[in-house]
Every structure is written in C-alpha cells, then in structure tokens.
Structure 1
Amino acid sequence: MPQPVTPLPDHGLSRFFRNQTFHFQTLRTLNHIAAGGADLNEVLMAISLIADGDSNGWYTQFSALATRTEDRIPHCADPLSRGHAWLRAHNYWRTAEFLLSPHDPRRQTAWTRQVAAFDNGVRLSAITYERFTVPYENGQLRGIVYPGPAGWQARPLIVLGGGYDSTLEELYFVLVKAAHDRGYGVLTYEGPGQGEALRQYGLPFTPQWEKPTAAVLDHFQANWFTPRRTVLVGMSMGGYLAPRVAAFDGRIDGVVAYDVFFDMGSVAQRYAAVARDPDAMKNPDVAWALDNALWTLGVSTLEQVLDALKAYTLAGVAEKITADVLTLVGERDHFIPASQADDFARACTHARSVETVMFDVLSGGAEHCQLGAPTLWHAAFFDWMVRKFG
C-alpha cells in the first residue's frame, strides 16, 4: 500500500522548529557549511527525528549523526574527504552536547570526541594551525593560531573570541577560513567561563576580560611576532567582552562587536522575570539559559546570576575605547535588544570611528550573530577591514 502523502504548506518555511532555541541551534549547525563543518541534508535528516523541545532527543539524534559520520571515514580513501568528514563530526558532537545539563556525563563524552574530531579534521584537510596554552590563575587558557597565506604578517592580525557558550574549535568555522581566503591570519582563544578553562579548571567568567586577553596576546607576541595592527572580534557575549578589552588594552586597533552586548544585566533581568515562573524550566529556552549561567558564572542561584551580571556593562567603559569600532546588529536578535547598539554607539565618545551595520529580516541576517547568513556579516566585516586598515 502506498504511504499517505503529508500535505505541504502553501509556502516554504523559514523556521526549523517553533521553539526558538531549537531553531537557532539548527541555524548554528548549518552556519558552518561554508567552512566545511556541516552538510545540509545530514542536518535536516537528524532534526526530522527530533520532537520540538525534546533536549534528550536532540542529543540522541545529533550524537547518532556524529557517530554515523565518523563510522564512514575508515571506508574513504581520499584524505581530504576524510578530513571534511571529521570536521562535520566535530560540529555534530558540539551540537549534540549543547542542550544537556552541565552535569550530564554525556557532555564529557561529546566534548572529548568533538575536540579529537576537530584535530583529525584540520590535519587531514591540510589546514595549518598551532595550538598553545597560557597559564592563567589556577588553570590555563587554550588558543589556536591559524597563519594566513604568504605575507599575512604584514596584514592586520585578526583575534577572535567567543561568548556565553562558545568553544575554541568552533571559532574556526565562524571566521578563520573566510579570513584565510582573504589573506589574513587569525588568533583564536578561549577565556575563563569557556571551553576547557571552564570544564577542566572550573574558571568562571570575569567581567575584566582584558586580563585573560592580555595573557593570550602577550604569549602570541613572545612566541610569534608583534602585529602592526590588531583587530579584535567578539562573538555574542563577546560583544561585551571585546569592547571591554579595547577600552583597557592599547594594542587593539579595531574592535568588532558581533553582535553588540552593551548591558548584559538588563537582558538577564528580562529572562529572570520569566524564569521565576515555576513552570518556566519546562521551556528549553529558559532552562538552558539559566543552567548555562549557573555553570559559567560559578554561582548557585538565579539571584546570584543577576547580581554577577550587573558588572557586565559597557556604561562608563565604552568611552575609553580609542580604536575603530564596528557594531553588527540583527533585527530579529532574540537575545539582545537592537537599542543596545545605539547605546553603545553613543557611549563610544573617544573612538577613532564608529560604524553600525543592521541586518534586516529579508536579508537573512536578522538572527543573533547573523546565524544562517555568514557571508553577509563577512562581507560587512572585510569591507570595513579594507577601508580602515588597507
């Protein structure tokens, strides 16, 4: 008997899930296609088996996809195809663990496998890179230097840091390949509250982001060279962290808030109003945001989260920035009100220049950090690089 055909909607769809976190994290996984970190239909097949809002099902399907991707590698004779498969497996393991509780033992399994897959992937894909570690407080920070093509030392060094939920390896897909294609080298790093610094050493976030960044930049200059120009890009929460660095470290010639995060405390208050509802933790959006805050800030209660995040504001800080400033804004950003871009621009009273780029809904870049449309923000960023730094 032929199977009944499910009626299709009259129009195409612009969302993968009704739940915003599930939709957004799907976009995040697909965002890395351009840099070899995903395949469209692999992801679509995985999410077709996930019930909207089922965090456990999310892990089950994406870990299964990562495993299937890895299982095919030994049967592939071409080294580059094997490398690309490892890079996709890395992204699928990263995606799988994302919605798990910080204390779920499956997180450690996924973490170990995603890092190993990444190293296999860049090695077999002939991507030049060098890992390093820097002592910091009672632990250490990881970084990766990706040299550019010939002559990259004469161009500005791009330094890329993540945010509230970033991993060091994911940063390759965010910007490194696009930068290398244009002749730039990139230094990526993680600070306290991120990646291994959090998982292995228990280092929580600090609002004084200039301190871990200085340790990383000092190490780079001691072991590689002193760049003629340094451009710091901060992703997501990095839209607070990177401008904070630029305010206190004179080595930063240009800073990019991708996207801007002028006042994290006010955003947290908005979430808290919802989180205090006893039924709120049934919503993956709220449950994930609170669990991650407790983990990365090293606190135990919602009220402690709110108190800690009061310090994460650029008010009274942005006026100290003397570098060129680029701010990116998504019209449909579900984390950060677009008005914070205006607050930031007004506060940058001593910056050499201030530019803001708004991505509207029809452009495809309206989501937080323009996920799903990396070529749009890359175009805006590299155009700014050419105009400001030659």
Structure 2
Amino acid sequence: MAEHTPSPQRFGTTRFFANQTFHFQTLRVLNDIAANGADLNEVLLTIGSIEEGNTDCWYQKFAELAERTQVRIPGCIDRLSTAYAWLRAHNYWRTAEFLLTPQDPRRVTAWANQIAAFDQGLTVAGVPYTRLSVPYEGASLRAIVYPGPEGWEKRPLIVCCGGYDSTLEELYFVLVKAAYDRGYGVLTYEGPGQGAALREHGLTFTPEWEKPTRAVLDMFEQTYFTPAKTILVGMSMGGYLAPRAAAFEPRLDGVVAYDVFFDMGSVAQRYAQSAQTAEARNNPDITWAIDNAFWTLGVTTLDAVITALQQYNLAPVAAAITCDVLTLVGEKDHFIPASQAQDFEAACTHARSCETVYYDRPSGGAEHCQLGAQTLWHATFFDWMARKFSS
C-alpha cells in the first residue's frame, strides 16, 4: 500500500501586497474602519483588482470605489448611513490620489472631492466642528476644532498634527473620534509642507515646527479659551515635528511621538542609497518617497533632500523638552529603526517623565504608526492621558 503523503498545510496571509507601500497604504485605508471611514469588503474587493506596483491602477480603482460609494448616497434614508457613506468616500478619494505624482492633474479633483465628502459626512452625522484659517507668514494654515462633550473645556486639550503625507481631515479618523468618545476636545492642524499650506500657498516643510504650532495655539486661545492642559500628538513625521515644537513651546504639558522620528537625516540617506539601483526606478517604495520629498521640501535633487532633512534631528533640542513625553515604536517599522526610540529617550534629559512603548509583531502593532491596530495604540495613549493629566 502506498504511503499517504499529507498535503501541505495552508495558512492565511498577513499581507495584502508584496510591495510594502501598497500593503501599508491598504492598512492605512482599513485603519479608519473604527471611525466609520472604511468598510472591509469594499476595500478587499478593490485591491483584488489592482495590479501590484501599478499606481495608475491604484488611483483608478479607488476613485471608482469612491464614486460608487457616493452614487449610492441619494438612495439612503437613514441619516447615519448617509453620513458614513460620505466619510468612506472621503477616505477612498484620499487613498486614490496618494500614489500620484505631485504634478498629476487628477490630484486636484481628488483633493477637492475628499474635502467636500468629509464636510458632508461630519455635517450630516451631526459631529460638531469648526474650521479655522490661521494667519502664517503671509499665507494661512488650516485647522479644525472639534469640541468635546459637555465639560470638555475643563479637560486637557488634545492637539494633533500629521506628518510627511498626512491630511488634516484624516486626523479625525486617527484620533478625534476616539478622543470625543472619551470626553476630550481636539484641535487638529496642518503646517508648511502639508495639505493646503503646500498645495495652495506653496509653503514647504520647516524644521522649526514650533512656529506653526505657536500660531495655531494662539488662534485657538483667541477664539476659544486657554486650556488647563495641552497635549500635542505628532503622527509619523510628526514624531519629529511634535517633540521639536515641545522643546520651544512652554504651553505644552505633554507630547506624543506617534511614532518615534528622532533623526530624519539618517532615514533619508538610507532611501538615497536604495534609489541608486535600476530596480528602484520601478519600486513605489522609493519613487513615491522621493517624489514626495521633492514636493514637500521644495527641492529638486536627492542631495538637496539629504541636506534639508539633516536639519530634522532632535538631538540638539531634546534636552529642552520639559513636559511629559510618550513615544510609540513599531518593531517592524519600515521607515524608522526602532533604535531611534532609545536615542530619543536618552536625549530627553529634562523631561518631566519619558515613557516608551514598543509593539512587537504578535501584538499587531509592529507597523509604522501601528497601522491596522488603532485600538491598541489608543489604549496606550488614553491610559497615559488618564495617569498623567486626570484631575
């Protein structure tokens, strides 16, 4: 009798694409499910029709998903179903344009569509929010105030900024909804190199992030009130931007590096070395990062990118941070080495307290900014808020 050979055991997969950028951006769109900004099977069916590495296909399929989502809205009777459809459409438009080159004319349409859809969604849902236009260096910065539930004025104000490629509206799904559910009000803002500041005013990134932060805090206090406590959360590249602001802005009582970004220059050098190979010219991991650097930094060569980003280093200023510091770290972060967290903590010699939280692969939070595990980092953050700033 022939010996039976068992068939190979089959397992599920933890990846949507082999390419890290396509995989990561899929996690990013799914990350908004908890705040009603995406639906699982809508996204899975969409990525199932996207050719690996094809950025035009990526735009086309997510734009089609956004349009299909909006087409169904007139048939909705239920108010919240209508609102959430608008919010999903916003996210799908944001995702569609993400991998386009800065000069692609489709960006203009997708940008306008995502903002309009976002405003429709929040308005129909009855989410209170007010847009602010903050004067800054002859131009203006966008900010949004999301008042919390009754009594929010007496609680700490959470302030949130994005990073290298974030949008102002995206921050609602990242943190605002979760903060409101816990009784907090939130102020989100964009600075030079981001959003409308870049697209409409041509303002490119500045390493001196205390300047836009100061302007935004001033506007909030002039328009609303002076918070008893103010905590600044910086997402992605905001892991540099927020701590940099905290080193020079005494109104900040706490700062969160979500995730750590201690030394951007060394990261830029790694990407520049990778870009030298012929294979890199067809790899969205490299081409997108370089295109976005040229755009947001206002430079035209890789050498200029490296020179510019060498200024984005917390080593010279971390000792000036005197507030409470929370640093989050993903074990498998494909942008930032986890070792930068140790460097940052060691440099924060005058912080009131300094906590670093590492997320390993089994936790689900090992990706950059814990994408795909939003509730995990929320638990860390809101526990830290309760321990450090509860009355």
Shorter-chain TM-score tier: over 0.9
Q: Deviations over 1:335-357 (max 9, x none)?
A: 00000000000000000000000
Per the alignment, residue 180 of structure 1 pairs with 180
Q: Which amino acid aligns with 2:62?
A: F
| Greater shift in the superposed pair: 75-84 or 27-36 | 75-84
Distance 1:134 1:202 in 2: 15
CA distance in 1, matches of 2:102, 2:138: 21
1:136-157 residue CA offsets vs partner (Å, 9 max, x unmatched): 1132100000000011111100
Secondary structure in structure 1 of the residue aligned to 2:72: helix
1:221-232 correspondence to structure 2 within 5 Å: 221-232=221-232
Residue in 1 that maps onto 2:247: 247
CA displacement 1:91-122 (0-9 Å, x = unmatched): 00000000000000001110000000000000
Residue of structure 1 equivalent to 2:364: 364
Which residue of structure 2 lines up, in the alignment, with residue 291 of structure 1?
291
1:181, distance to aligned residue in structure 2 (A): 0.4
In 2: Cα distance, 1:349 partner to 1:102 partner? 40
Is it true that 1:36 corresponds to 2:59 in the alignment? no
Say whether residues 1:345 and 2:354 are aligned partners. no
Match of 2:354 in 1: 354
- Name 1:235's counterpart in structure 2: 235
Paired amino acid for 1:340: Q
1:278 shift after superposition:
3.7
Structure 1 contact 138–201 (Cα < 8 Å) conserved: no
Residue in 2 aligned with 1:25? Answer: 25
Query: Which range is displaced more, 272-281 or 112-121?
Result: 272-281
| 1:325–1:353 contact (8 Å) kept in structure 2 | yes
Partner of 1:300: 300
What secondary structure, in the 3-state scheme, does the structure 2 residue paired with 1:386 have? helix
Post-superposition Cα deviations, 1:347-385, rounded to whole Å, max 9, x if no partner, equal 000000000000110010000000000000000000000
Structure 1 Cα separation of the partners of residues 138 and 263 of structure 2: 29
Counterpart residue identity of residue 64, structure 2: A
Name the aligned partner's letter for residue 335 of structure 1: F
Q: Secondary structure at the match of 1:32?
A: helix
Greater alpha carbon shift after TM alignment, 268-277 vs 165-174:
268-277
Secondary structure (helix, strand or coil) at the match of 1:144 reads: strand
Give the Å deviation of 1:78: 1.4
Q: Distance in 1 between matches of 2:8 and 2:58?
A: 24
TM-score, L = length of structure 2: 0.97
Give structure 1 stretches of 5+ with no counterpart: 1-6
Q: Which residue of structure 2 aligns with residue 4 of structure 1?
A: none
The amino acid of 1:186's aligned partner reads: V
1:135 corresponding residue in structure 2: 135
> Partner of 1:273 in structure 2?
273
CA RMSD of aligned residues (A): 1.1
Distance in 1, Cα, partners of 2:49 & 2:9: 19
Deviation at 1:9, TM superposition (A): 7.7
- Deviation at 1:305? 0.4
When residues 300 and 384 of structure 1 are mapped into structure 2, their CA distance, relative to the original with a 3 A threshold, is: same
SS, match of residue 10 in structure 1: coil
1:50-101 Cα shifts (integer Å, max 9, x gaps): 0111111100100000000000001111121111000000000000000000
- For residues 183 and 316 of structure 2, the distance between their equivalents in structure 1, rounded to whole angstroms, comes to 36
Q: C-alpha distance in 1, partners of 2:346/2:243?
A: 14
Structure 1 residue ranges (4+ consecutive) displaced by more than 3 angstroms after TM superposition? none
2:70 is matched with: 70
TM-score w.r.t. the length of structure 1 is 0.97
